[in-house]
Amino acid sequence: MQSSHTATAVSSAFDDPNLIAYGGLEPVVRLAERCGLPALADELIRLPASKDGTGAFPAAKLMSLVGGMAAGADSIDDMDRLRHGAMGRLFAGVRAPSTLGSFLRSFTHGHVKQLHAVARRFLPALARHTPLLPGADQVAYVDIDDTIRRTYGYAKQGAGYGYSKVKGLNALLGIVSTPLSAPVIAATRLRKGPSNSARGAAAFVAETIRTARACGASGLLVMRADSAFYGADVVNSCRALGAWFSITVRMNASVKAAIARIDEGAWTPIKYPKAVWDEEGQCWISDAWALTPDLEHVYAARVRVVDVEWKVFS
């Protein structure tokens, strides 16, 4: 195959007024409307009034942003993909990229909580209308972690250097999943860059567990976290809401001493069916050792893991 014309003589344009490039957005938008997303946006998003109307019509702007992201937009300019061909006949109220950019820039650190409130109420409604978390009535997992998102410029509110030595914002994430489902973001919390991982973690864990329950996680619920969230307040939040937990224990002096006192015969070898990559040691791990179930309660008391209950999962 070869071109039959010179490059300067060839041109193409996709300007058919009946063209719909993202027809799959139609059921997505209908589902969002059925679950009450526009009404939640109008009810909960309250931005300062301005002459250019930046804070007006939050539902239309939020729905435009959701539609653009579902269509693959990863920048403000990409939001213009919703305004070509027959998209204007399929959807009403689509806002221009410049309008959406002004809308997002008007959010302060505190206003982000309004978006969080919208998401927290929307997710249970979505779970009622779709098989979002199949098998959640049997077993579900809540994974808690934080991340640093790099920011640029000097005017970004709350930006700072955290444990990663990268200037940015810190975000807590609460993820809900089941053995049959993909992970679902159930809760988020935007924080200043220098925030400690465990700051406000107990309340955040409780909020994520409540959201998971509201989404249908009525069976066994296990909260999992790394050693950054090792503390009595996080454990107590799980206990108060009837959730099990698996938290990595920090290897401090008292824990090491207690482990050293455990008899050799109390350990049971474990073989992982698939090796696990250890980032810290830069090696693959396929073997481990666990306490035999009948001795766990004895050694849990010795280790004094902030009153953590040791539980065995099959």
Q: pLDDT tens digits for the chain (314 residues)? A: 565 556 566 666 666 777 788 888 999 999 999 999 999 999 999 888 777 777 788 999 999 999 999 999 989 999 988 888 888 888 888 999 999 999 988 888 778 889 999 999 999 999 999 999 999 999 999 999 999 988 888 778 888 888 888 899 999 999 999 999 999 999 999 888 888 888 999 999 999 999 999 999 999 999 999 989 988 999 999 999 999 999 988 888 888 888 888 888 888 887 777 887 888 778 888 777 776 655 444 444 433 333 333 333 32
- State how far the Cα of 82 lies from the Cα of 199, in Å rounded to an integer: 40
Pairing, β 220-225 against β 244-247 = parallel
| Total-model pTM | 0.79
Q: What is the pLDDT of residue 41?
A: 94
Q: What is the pLDDT of residue 272?
A: 75
Q: What is the pLDDT of residue 215?
A: 96
Residue type, 307: D
Q: What is the pLDDT of residue 137?
A: 95
Q: Using alpha carbons, select from 109, 118, 256, 73 the residue that is nearest to residue 190.
A: 109
Helices vs strands, H then E, count in the chain = 10, 8
Residue with tokens 């009153």, as numbered in its chain:
307
Residues in the chain: 314
Q: What is the pLDDT of residue 3?
A: 57
Q: What is the pLDDT of residue 206?
A: 96
Q: Which two tokens stand for residue 71?
A: 């269509």
Q: What is the pLDDT of residue 292?
A: 60
Q: Using alpha carbons, select from 80, 74, 77, 45 the residue that is nearest to residue 59.
A: 45
Residue with tokens 């509201």, as numbered in its chain:
214
Residue pair 195/170 in contact (Cβ under 8 Å)? The answer is yes
- φ and ψ of 113, to 5 deg: -60, -25
Q: What is the pLDDT of residue 299?
A: 45
Pairing, β 160-161 against β 244-247 = unpaired
Pairing, β 139-150 against β 220-225 = parallel
- State how far the Cα of 77 lies from the Cα of 98, in Å rounded to an integer: 8
Residue with tokens 């474990």, as numbered in its chain:
270
- For residue 180, CA distances in Å to 136, 191, 273 come to 9, 32, 19
Pairing, β 267-278 against β 139-150 = unpaired
